[in-house]
Structure 1
Amino acid sequence: MSEPLANTLEAHPLALLFDELIIYVYQHRLHMLLLLPGSILFTIIHEAAHAVMVWFQGGKIIQFIWMPTYARNEFAQWEWLWGYISYEFLEDQVYSDFLIASAPYILMLGLMLFAAITSLRRKPYAFWLASTLFIWLYVVPNMEIMNELLPWLLGYRGDFWSAFGEAGQFAWIMTVVWLLLVSIIGFWVQQALYRQQALSLLTYSIFFSTGLLLFFILLV
C-alpha cells in the first residue's frame, strides 16, 4: 500500500472514531472488570441510605439484604431484588415514606455533584484518579438513578413509586430533561477530568446513546 493511501485511511473520521473507542475501552478495562463487585458495593450503599433514613426517623431495621434475592416486595409480589430492607415503626410514630424511598437517589445526586466539583481543579489528576472519579462518582450513580427511573416510567412499583406515586406525563418530560442535563454535564465533567485524554463530542454521544439503549433493552 502506498504511503499517501495509508495516511488517508488512517486519517479517515471513522477510523479515528474507532481508534478512540478502542483506546477508551482499553484504558477503562479495570473499571469494567470491577463493575460486578462494584454493583454489590453500591447495593450496600443504596440499602444503607434507606436504613439510615429509617433510623433517623426513629424506626427499627428488621432485615438488611445486600445480595440478589428472590423475595416478596413491599406489595407482596415475588421478584428478584438486588437488595432490600424491611423495617418497622411504632403505630403512633410519624415518619416520611418519601424520605426513606428517595434517600439513595439523593445520595447518588450528591456523588455526581461531588464528581462535578472535583473536576474544577486546575491541576490535572492522574488518569487512574480521573477515571475513578468519572466512572464511580458520576457514571455509576447515574446508572443507579436510571435503574429506578426507567422501570418507574414503565409502571414498576419501586422506590420512585413509593416517593412520587405513579409516573405521569410530567415524569416523562422531566426524564427527558434529566437525560439532556446529565449528558451535557457528563461531557463537561469528563473533559475537565481527562483533559487531553477526554472523549470527543461524537464519541461521547455514541457511548452515552448506546449505553442508554442497552440499559433500556435490559430493563424491558
Structure 2
Amino acid sequence: MLAEIWNFMRRHWLHMLLAVPGAVVFTLVHEGAHAAAVLVQGGTVLEFVWLPPGDGKWGYVAYDPPAQGSFSSLFVSLAPYLLWFFLAAVVALLSRRRRPFPFWVASSLYFWLFAAPLADVANTAFPYLVGRENDFSHAFGTPSWTDLFLTAALTLLALVAGHLVQRRLYRAQGLGLPAYLVLSLSVVLALLCITVGIPGSYL
C-alpha cells in the first residue's frame, strides 16, 4: 500500500513542485471572485491584495457597497467557494467520460481543479470552527455545533467523491480504496494542523 501511494505521488511530482506558486495563483483567483461579486452588485473595490501581506492573511479585498440598491455581503463572502464547488462539480462530470484522459490531463484536472479548490474551502472552514475571523465568520457568524457536524459531513462527502472521481479519471492508475484513505486522511489531518494555525482569507 505504501508503495502504491509513493508511486501515485511520484507521478504527480510536477504538480507538487508547482504547489507554492499555484497557491499564489489560487489566492489571486480567490480574491478575484470576491472582487467580481462586489462589482456585479454595483459596489466599489477599494483594495485588492492577492500576495500575502505578512500579517497572517493570504490576501483580502476591501470594498464599499453601492449607495443605493440591494447588496449581498453574504454573496461576496461565499463567491470563491461557490466557484470552487462549481469547478469540482465540472471535474466530477468530466470524470464520467467513457474515453480516458491522458495522464497529464487527468492529473491536472484532479490536482488543480478538484483537490486544490476543496483544500481552499478547508483552509477557511477549519479555522472558522475554532473561532478565527475569515470569510465564513463574515458569512455565518459565530460557529456552532451544527457547523461542526456539517463540516464533518461535507468533509466525509468530499472524501467519498474524491475517491470516485480519481478512480474514474485515472482508471487503472488510480489509487485503491485503502491507499486512497491513508493518503487523503493524511492530507486532511495536515490541512487541519496547518490551517487552524493560519487564518484564512479576509475580506
Query: TM-score band, normalised by the shorter chain?
Result: over 0.9
Aligned to 2:201: none
**Structure 2 residue 156 is the aligned partner of structure 1 residue 141:** no
Q: For residues 151-184 of structure 1, what are the alpha-carbon distances to aligned partners after superposition, in whole Å with 9 as ceiling and x for unaligned?
A: 0000011100111111101101111110111000
For 1:54 and 1:184, how far apart are their aligned partners in 2?
Answer: 34
- The structure 2 residue matched to 1:129, chosen from 97, 105, 112, is 105
**Structure 2 residue 20 is the aligned partner of structure 1 residue 27:** no
Aligned to 1:182: 158
For 1:192 and 1:91, how far apart are their aligned partners in 2?
Answer: 49
RMSD: 1.0
Aligned to 2:130: 154
Opposite residue 198 of structure 1, the aligned amino acid is G
Q: TM-score, normalised by structure 1?
A: 0.87
Offset of residue 219 of structure 1: 2.4
Offset of residue 92 of structure 1: 4.2
Instruction: Compare relative contact order (CA 8 Å, sep 6+) and give the higher one, 1 or 2.
Output: 2
Q: TM-score, normalised by structure 2?
A: 0.94
For 1:119 and 1:90, how far apart are their aligned partners in 2?
Answer: 41
Opposite residue 131 of structure 1, the aligned amino acid is S
Q: For residues 55-109 of structure 1, what are the alpha-carbon distances to aligned partners after superposition, in whole Å with 9 as ceiling and x for unaligned?
A: 0110111111110003xxxxxxxx3211111111344453111000000000000
Opposite residue 168 of structure 2, the aligned amino acid is A
Runs of 5+ unmatched residues, structure 1: 1-16, 71-78
For 1:164 and 1:90, how far apart are their aligned partners in 2?
Answer: 22
Aligned to 2:42: 58
For 2:164 and 2:120, how far apart are their aligned partners in 1?
Answer: 20
Opposite residue 22 of structure 1, the aligned amino acid is W
Runs of 5+ unmatched residues, structure 2: 197-203
**Structure 2 residue 44 is the aligned partner of structure 1 residue 68:** no
**Structure 2 residue 181 is the aligned partner of structure 1 residue 197:** no
Aligned to 1:9: none
Opposite residue 101 of structure 1, the aligned amino acid is S
Opposite residue 45 of structure 2, the aligned amino acid is I
For 2:134 and 2:141, how far apart are their aligned partners in 1?
Answer: 10
Q: For residues 115-151 of structure 1, what are the alpha-carbon distances to aligned partners after superposition, in whole Å with 9 as ceiling and x for unaligned?
A: 1000010000000000001111110001010000000
Aligned to 2:200: none
For 2:102 and 2:183, how far apart are their aligned partners in 1?
Answer: 23
Larger radius of gyration: 1
For 1:61 and 1:40, how far apart are their aligned partners in 2?
Answer: 20
For 2:67 and 2:41, how far apart are their aligned partners in 1?
Answer: 13
For 1:55 and 1:219, how far apart are their aligned partners in 2?
Answer: 29
